[in-house]
Amino acid sequence: MSVWPAWEVREDGDVMAWFHVRLAFADGARVDTLAVVAEGGVSLEDVRAQPALSLEDLGALGDWIEGPLFEACGVAPPGAASGSRARPAWPRGMEGRRLIVEEYRAAQEDGVDPVLAVMCATGHSRRTSLRLISQARDAGFLTPRHARR
Rounded to an integer, the average pLDDT of 101-119 is: 85
What b-and-e string marks burial along 59-98, b requiring 16 or more CB atoms within 10 Å of the CB?
A: ebbbebbbbbbbebbeebbeeeeeeeeeeeeeeeeeeebe
Q: Which sign does the torsion angle of CA 72, 78, 84, 88 carry?
A: negative
Instruction: Report the chain's mean pLDDT, rounded to a whole number.
Output: 77
Q: Which residue has the higher pLDDT, 103 or 72?
A: 103
Please, which pLDDT band fits residue 149 given cuts at 50, 70 and 90?
low
Could you report the per-residue pLDDT of 34-77, keeping only the tens digit for each? Answer: 888 766 667 788 899 888 888 878 877 877 777 777 666 665 65
